[in-house]
Chains A and B, each alone.
Chain A
């Protein structure tokens, strides 16, 4: 083995990656060659110095939080209900292959609080007969109306082609900040979409049910927090959710 060969092998040797035959040849060379031995010692000395670097152990709070959030009952992937037409299911599979990361349950209480706030705002509006404050099926009219009142511009999607007519919009509050509500209808049930800006990274769709008969579908995308709430049957809500989510991801 020449010095040139040995030099190329120094790191691999120090990392224990050489096979037995090469190891023997390397050690034989280094035993007889001061220059190469010095280089090997320099490499080993660096490794020893690097061991002074802090090894960061998981804080106890993290270990607990992981245990809590990964307990089986809390981990729920969202899948569209099976009664969808087969072509819809296939399309949904494509859409949700990309969006299937579970949202980290870092703060379960925050999601519960938000679901409550979203439902409260809906019920308040229903009770006071103000489900929509601007009644229009034209996204071009609803969007600027909302933008002027909530301080951000929501993306108002036209889903008429899928049979979901836009009934209008409403400016509301969720968790103390302005939220835009867009209301859609296909059959008897209204579907409300509440949107507000967020700094959370994009997350895939998650589902929640409220015992009073309302269902939520929610996700983060493009700097916005989306919460859909409705008493529509799950199949219809999933159809709506899939189309809206896909349209928003397309940026249409």
Chain B
């Protein structure tokens, strides 16, 4: 495991951290910390799926930082992080201008974090059930049930959009 092995997976790492922490600043802190941990633990990486391995560390870093902060808002998305601000428009703000994107964002953000991480890893990263199970540290059956429940919740939240699509 070297720095070169991490670089192709920084987007995936940041995306997961962003969805789990709910804001760009924490997500960047998490990714930096996770990369250092990945290199420090390099002797434990036995080859194979470097992306899944890094995402496991990202996920664990997110949760251990949640515990360290003890109750500060982390899973809740603060309004200011996804309300477009004319003076500080970032690519994120521009993307969220689309109404559907905003609603999908909000629906995913409203999921409990274990469901949210399963959905992000499956729908956005295309990880297999087995890889999701490895990242989340749970059995495959748990992954499947989390995905099921997450999807049921999302179906309901997005029902109005899907009707208008057909």
A, B assembled together: yes
Cα separation A53 to B15 with both chains bound (whole Å): 11
CB distance from B51 to the nearest CB of A (A): 13
Q: How many residues of B contact A (CB 8 A)?
A: 53
Q: Within residues 83 to 123 of chain A, which ones have a CB less than 8 A from any CB in chain B?
A: 100-102, 104-106
Contact B37 A101 (CB under 8 A): yes
Please indicate the chain A residues that have their CB under 8 angstroms from the CB of B147 in the complex. 11, 15
Asked whether, in the complex, the Cβ of B119 is within 8 Å of the Cβ of A54, the reply is no
How far is A43 from B162 in the complex, measured between Cα atoms in Å? 11
Looking at the assembled complex, report how far the CB atom of B95 sits from the nearest CB atom of chain A, in whole angstroms.
Answer: 5
On whether A54 and B105 interact (CB within 8 A), knowing A62-B28, A201-B65, the answer reads: yes
Whether, in the assembled complex, B158 has its beta carbon less than 8 Å from a beta carbon of chain A, the answer is yes
Question: In chain A between 59 and 76, which residues have their CB closer than 8 angstroms to a CB of chain B?
Answer: 59, 61-63, 65-67, 69-71, 75
A16 to B, closest residue via Cβ: B128
| Complex Cα–Cα for A131 and B109 (A) | 54
Count of A residues near B, CB < 8 Å?
Answer: 39
Q: Specify the main secondary structure of chain B where it touches its partner.
A: helix
Contacts A65-B32, A102-B36; A50 near B11 (Cβ below 8 A):
no
SS class, residues of chain A in contact with chain B:
loop
Q: Which residues 33-82 in A have Cβ within 8 Å of B in the complex?
A: 42-43, 45-47, 49-59, 61-63, 65-67, 69-71, 75, 77
Residues of A contacting B3 with CB < 8 Å?
Answer: 66-67, 70-71
- The residues of A that contact B100 with a CB separation of less than 8 Å are 49, 52
Complex Cα distance, B32 from A65, in Å, reads: 8
Q: Hey, what's the 0/1 contact readout for B28-71 against A, CB within 8 Å counting as 1?
A: 11011101110110000000000000000000000011001100
Judged by a CB distance under 8 angstroms, whether B83 is at the interface is: no
Residues B35 and A66 in contact, CB atoms below 8 Å apart: yes
A58 to B36, CA, bound (A): 16
A54-B101, A55-B15, A67-B3 known; A75 and B40 CB under 8 Å? yes
Contact of A66 with B10 in the complex, beta carbons under 8 Å = yes
- Interface residue B165 (Cβ < 8 Å from any Cβ of A): yes
Question: Which of B3, B27, B64, B69 has most chain A Cβ within 10 Å?
Answer: B3
Question: Within A114-143, which residues are at the interface with B (CB < 8 Å)?
Answer: none
Which single residue of chain B is at the shortest CB-CB distance from A71? B3
Question: Mask for B123-166, Cβ within 8 A of A = 1, else 0?
Answer: 11000110000000000000010011001001100100110011
Select which of A53, A62, A75 is within 8 A of B32 by beta carbon.
A62
With contacts A62-B14, A201-B64 known, what are 13 further pairs, Cβ within 8 A? A46-B155, A49-B158, A49-B162, A50-B119, A54-B92, A55-B11, A55-B15, A56-B27, A65-B32, A70-B39, A102-B37, A104-B36, A106-B32
